[in-house]
Amino acid sequence: MTPSPREAETMTVLSKLVYFPLQVLFIPVAIVGVVIVAYKQLVVSKRLGLSQTAVEVINGRWTMHIFGPRQD
């Protein structure tokens, strides 16, 4: 059953009222995550003697290997 235009508008407003505050609430968590990943990337690139760009390529290939689209 298709919702009426009024119901659709109500759902849109309600979804925005939930979505935006949650996004703002999780900004600090995202910032902490970015800082941790950047630090680990710097440490790994220095330990392996590779550039950060090369580490990013390795991260992407490892992720694809783990989740299945590419087997290395």
Can you give the residue ranges of every domain in the chain? Answer: 5-67
> Which pLDDT tens digit goes with each residue over 14-36?
999 999 999 999 999 999 999 99
Which H, E and C letters describe the chain, residue by residue?
CCCCHHHHHHHHHHHHHHHHHHHHHCHHHHHHHHHHHHHHHHHHHHHHCCCHHHHHHHHHHHHHHHHCCCCC
Q: State mean pLDDT over 33-40.
A: 91
Q: State mean pLDDT over 32-60.
A: 88
56: Cβ–Cβ under 8 A, 6 or more apart, which residues? Answer: 41
Q: Are 55 and 48 in contact (CB under 8 A)?
A: yes
Confidence at 72, pLDDT banded by 50, 70, 90: confident
Which pLDDT score is estimated for 21? 96
Which pLDDT score is estimated for 37? 87
CA distance 51 to 26: 31
